[in-house]
Chains A and B, each alone.
Chain A
Amino acid sequence: MESPVEIVQHTAGGAIGVSWLMIAFPLLGAAILLVLGRKTDRWGHLLGVAMSLASFVVAVLAFFELLGLSAEQRRQAVHLYEFIPGMADMGLLIDPLSISFALLITGVGSLIHIYSIGYMSHDPDRRRFFSYLNLFVAAMLLLVLADNYVGLFIGWEGVGLASYLLIGFWQFKPSAAVAAKKAFVVNRVGDFGLLVGMFIMWSATGTFAFAELSEKAGGLSQPMVTAIGLLLLLGACGKSAQLPLQSWLLDAMEGPTPVSALIHAATMVTAGVYLVVRSGAFFFPEGSPQALAVAIVGAATLLAGAIIGCAKDDIKKGLAGSTMSQIGYMMLGAGLGPAGYAFAIGHLITHGFFKADMFLGAGSVMHGMNDEVDMRKYGALRKYMPITFVTFIIGYLAIIGFPLLSGYFTKDGIIETAVEHNQVLGWLAVVGAGITGFYMSRMIFMTFFGEKRWAEDAHPHESPTVMTVPLIVLSIGSIFLGGYLILSNRLMLWLAPAVGRPEELPTFHFASTPGLATLALVAVGAAYAWMKYGRAEVPAVQPRGSFLTTFARRDLYGDALNESLFMRPGQWLTRIAVFFDNRGIDGVVNGLAAGIGGTSGRLRRIQTGFARTYALSILIGAALLTGALLLVGNI
């Protein structure tokens, strides 16, 4: 196995020297749009797109500059300033891994910015939407470019904030406000894991920087590394919607569709995969229990997401289930060590393309159907939205792993590596691929084929050019990118300086056993979907369905579980605390005051105002004193 190369300090100028501009551009855009407010309503969206594109240009320039360096020089650290003296310096790490992410974020992000011009054109708050999008891009870039965990954490929280703002963008809808809150709270659970992991990291090694950790992490004891790894995995689960912190992602579809495409499919939810791969060399050594935990979480989530996707009638929620499932594949790949990293990142990149393509396609369908999301009210749309149909089909073929399309290469790579490392997890991934074939075909048949089941006032039409062009660009990526990255191991060799690689480079088998089994299962799934939803009529009202269908419709009872396990006990706890506060603490305080008040109320009755009474009490007192002195004697 080859380890990652040393990180070198960048001294020359060039695009890498000014790579902080990547973050600065969108951050500036967000600041201008938010500070100037309504004054920028007319041109705000154009500024947002320009800032995102400027960031993309810097990323491309830095990418080419990095390509020009030799493999040993491809990890360039750019020092920016001293952030917390003695603890963390703010700096950027430009290496193949971070620049790949930066290209995906700014590239797909820019396309989604452009698409949003059309999608949000009727929204009075379009300028605010673009400011949040820019804020998100800036935070996500900080997350992937930072050269230490502190910077990563700031970006991590920044995307959490942007995600919260964008899910709740239509905050007048109670469901959107609730979904935003839920995403925020569930993400906090993950952030807790990341933070505690960082605390342990600091106390054990005294550094947050990737460059120093690669030297010091080797000296840590095994349980310490496992603890940090598992805590980082908890953080990754929160951000990437993996079991058991998956519940927020399906509700997050309340946000505008471009948000679902950008944040909840292409970029933000992949931050967990980034975290695992980036920390791989320090905290997830190959074959360690925490790496196995990553793979198990991935395998469990890819099945759970696929099962949920089978029963959803809301097109966006169906896609959200599939996102969960695909990120599960990436996690599975990331849990396999350097052999799986390239496939996990490859799947992440191709998934960024085809899932954004399909989400934006779904947005295009909704745009033409008066924001209807129920697939039972679609049908036969292929004739009315030809461009959306073709691009969606390409994304669909890519995600189910149709041979020679993007998803085929990257997903197959993960499955084959998984089967090599761990038979059980590998074959579970094969089964997941079969289910993917079913639910994605179901979506296609219900939306584009069959009879019209539209609402009466629906007049489907193709979306404007500003929306279809991003779809076309994304679908082209969905066709070719996977083959380009995986065949002849281009991505693995490119990423090797950053994440390491196995000694022996894998060769791509077109006819391996797991690969053929996957294809067969996908075909069976698609055929079953055609029988149920293509040939047979789709009922306009959701049928009751079997126990399993209800199980999937209710998100595998994830919400019910959270409610009974955490929410109800939490409510009981607060009720007990309130009771104790009211009766216990307030009772003591109030009781003391009332007791003193009552006693003094009685005591003051002694003050009668009759001088003779006082005289009597003085006499009695004097007599008692005298008597006491006599008793004591000796006066």
Chain B
Amino acid sequence: MTAHYLVLSGLLFAIGAMGVLIRRNAIVVFMCVELMLNACNLAFVTFARQNGNLEGQIIAFFVMVVAAAEVVVGLAIIVTIFRTRRSASVDDANLLKY
């Protein structure tokens, strides 16, 4: 019954992960991360439904809260990087290394 939801969740997660790995624009990468989080949420809710309890749904709420906080901090960082370097490419910000 719920297998379709899980398949959809897996697909969304795979698309998100692929986006994180191959896209350069920080905004897009960020959106892909959100996509992965929501794929996880979908899986949690599905499992909650499957098992007939509310724990998965509670976790999904927590994930949403964390994602909201993450968006606030992440976007601020991206905007700051863009202001200083006139670029939002994740590959250009590579100074923190060996």
Q: How many residues of A contact B (CB 8 A)?
A: 11
Q: Which residues of chain B from 38 to 71 have any CB-CB distance to chain A below 8 Å in the complex?
A: none
Question: Is B3 in contact with chain A by the CB < 8 A criterion?
Answer: no
A80 within 8 A of B: no
**Complex contact A608–B17 (CB within 8 A):** no
Report the Cα distance A610→B97, complex, angstroms. 8
Q: Which of A605, A612, A615, A619 contacts B98 (CB 8 A)?
A: A605
A611 to B26, CA, bound (A): 10
A604 touches B98 (CB 8 A): yes
Does B31 belong to the interface (CB within 8 Å)? no
Partner of A609, one of B21, B22, B29, B97: B97
Measured CA separation A240–B21 after assembly (Å): 92
One of A604, A607, A619 near B17 (C-beta < 8 A): A619
Say which size band chain B's interface belongs to: 10 to 19
Nearest opposing residue in chain A for B90, CB measure:
A611
A616 interface residue per 8 A CB criterion: yes
Judge whether B1 is part of the interface by a CB distance below 8 angstroms. Answer: no
Instruction: Given A605-B98, A609-B96, check contact A619 B21 (CB 8 Å).
Output: yes
Q: Which of B60-98 contact A (CB under 8 A)?
A: 90-91, 93-98
- In the complex the two chains form, what is the Cα distance from A164 to B84 in whole Å? 80
Interface flag for B37 (CB, 8 Å): no
Interface residues of A in 130-151 (CB under 8 A from B): none
CB–CB A611/B93 < 8 A: yes
A612 to B24, CA, bound (A): 9
A480 to B96, CA, bound (A): 102
- CB neighbours of A608 from chain B (8 A): 94, 97
A123 CB, nearest partner CB in chain B, Å: 72
Bound CA–CA A627/B76 (angstroms): 36
With a cutoff of 8 Å between Cβ atoms, the chain A residues found around residue B29 in the complex are: 611-612
Complex Cα spacing A610 to B93, Å: 7
Shortest B61–chain A CB gap in Å is: 23
B-facing residues in A592-623 (Cβ within 8 Å)? 604-605, 607-612, 615-616, 619
A615 vs B91: C-alpha distance in the bound complex, in angstroms?
A: 12
Closest CB in chain A relative to B98 CB, distance in Å: 4
Contact present for A612 and B20 (CB under 8 Å): yes
Task: Please measure, in the bound complex, the distance between the C-alpha atom of A619 and the C-alpha atom of B13, giving whole angstroms.
Answer: 11
Does more than half of chain A's interface fall in helix, strand or loop, or is it mixed? helix
Cβ of A612: which chain B residues have Cβ within 8 Å of it? Answer: 20-22, 29, 90-91
Q: In angstroms, how far is the closest chain A Cβ from the Cβ of B7?
A: 17
Could you tell me the distance between the alpha carbons of A612 and B17 in the complex, rounded to whole angstroms?
A: 10
A615–B20 touching, CB < 8 Å: yes
B21–A616 touching, CB < 8 Å = yes
Question: A610 contacts B91, CB within 8 Å?
Answer: yes
**Interface on chain B toward A: helix, strand, loop, or mixed SS?**
loop
Q: What chain A residues lie within 8 Å of B97 (beta carbons)?
A: 607-609
Cβ–Cβ contact A609 & B17, under 8 A: no
Shortest distance from the beta carbon of B43 to any chain A beta carbon, whole Å: 13
Residues of A within 8 A of B96 (CB): 609
A611 to B20, CA, bound (A): 9
Residues of chain B contacted by A605 (CB below 8 angstroms): 98
Q: Which residues of A contact B91 (CB under 8 A)?
A: 610, 612
Are B90 and A607 in contact, CB atoms less than 8 angstroms apart?
no
CA of A604 to CA of B98 in the docked complex: distance in angstroms? Answer: 6
Q: How far is the CB of A608 from chain B (nearest CB, A)?
A: 6
When distances are taken between beta carbons in the complex, the residues of chain A under 8 Å from B98 are 604-605, 607
- Report B92 CB to chain A, min CB distance, Å: 10
Evaluate contact between B20 and A609: CB separation under 8 angstroms.
no
Interface hits, A615-635 → B, CB 8 Å: 615-616, 619
Distance A604 CA – B97 CA, assembled complex (angstroms): 9
Q: Give CA–CA (A578, B84) in the complex, Å.
A: 60
> Closest CB of chain A to B34's CB: distance in Å?
14
Alpha-carbon distance between A616 and B29 when the two chains are bound, in angstroms: 13
Chain B residue nearest in CB terms to A623: B17
Looking across the interface, which residue of chain A has its beta carbon closest to that of B98? A604
Distance from B66 Cβ to chain A, minimum over Cβ atoms (Å): 17
Residues of B close to A604: CB separation below 8 A: 98
Residues B95 and A609 in contact, CB atoms below 8 Å apart: yes
Q: Which residues of B contact A615 (CB under 8 A)?
A: 20-21
CA A51 – CA B84 in complex, angstroms? 93
Pair B17/A610 contact, Cβ less than 8 Å? no
- Chain B, residue nearest A606 (CB): B98
A residues less than 8 Å from B20 (CB atoms): 612, 615
Cα separation A616 to B17 with both chains bound (whole Å): 9
Complex CA–CA separation, A610 to B23 (angstroms): 12
Q: Which residues of A contact B21 (CB under 8 A)?
A: 612, 615-616, 619
CB of A355 to closest CB in B, whole Å: 82
Q: Shortest beta-carbon distance, B95 to chain A, in Å? A: 6
Alpha-carbon separation in the docked complex, A591 to B73 (Å) = 47
8 A Cβ contacts from A493-529 to B: none
Task: Tell me the smallest distance from the CB of A622 to a CB of chain B, in Å.
Answer: 9
Q: How far is the CA of A615 from the CA of B23 in the complex (A)?
A: 12
Give bound CA distance, A608 to B93, whole Å: 11
A597 to chain B, nearest CB (A): 14
How far does the alpha carbon of A607 sit from the alpha carbon of B97 in the complex, in Å?
Answer: 5
* A611 to B97 Cα, complex, angstroms: 10
- Which of A610, A616, A619 contacts B94 (CB under 8 A)? A610
Q: Which residue of A lies closest to B17 (CB)?
A: A619
CB distance from B80 to the nearest CB of A (A): 15
Query: Interface readout for B1-28 with A: 1 if CB under 8 Å, 0 if not?
Result: 0000000000000000100111000000
Chain A, Cβ-Cβ closest to B94: A609
Within 8 A of B (CB), among A558-616: 604-605, 607-612, 615-616
Q: Return chain A residues, CB-CB under 8 Å to B95.
A: 609
* Residues in A whose Cβ lies below 8 Å from that of B94: 608-611
Query: Smallest CB–CB gap between B36 and chain A, Å?
Result: 10
Name 14 interchain pairs, CB-CB below 8 A, sorted by A: A604-B98, A607-B98, A608-B94, A609-B96, A609-B97, A611-B29, A611-B94, A612-B21, A612-B91, A615-B20, A615-B21, A616-B21, A619-B17, A619-B21
> Contact residues of B with A, CB < 8 Å?
17, 20-22, 29, 90-91, 93-98
Contacts A612-B22, A616-B21, A619-B21 supplied; 20 other A-B pairs, CB < 8 Å: A604-B98, A605-B98, A607-B97, A607-B98, A608-B94, A608-B97, A609-B95, A609-B96, A609-B97, A610-B90, A610-B91, A610-B94, A611-B90, A611-B93, A612-B21, A612-B29, A612-B91, A615-B20, A615-B21, A619-B17
Please provide the 7 A-B residue pairs with the shortest distance between their CB atoms, ordered closest to farther.
A609-B97, A609-B94, A604-B98, A607-B98, A607-B97, A611-B90, A615-B20
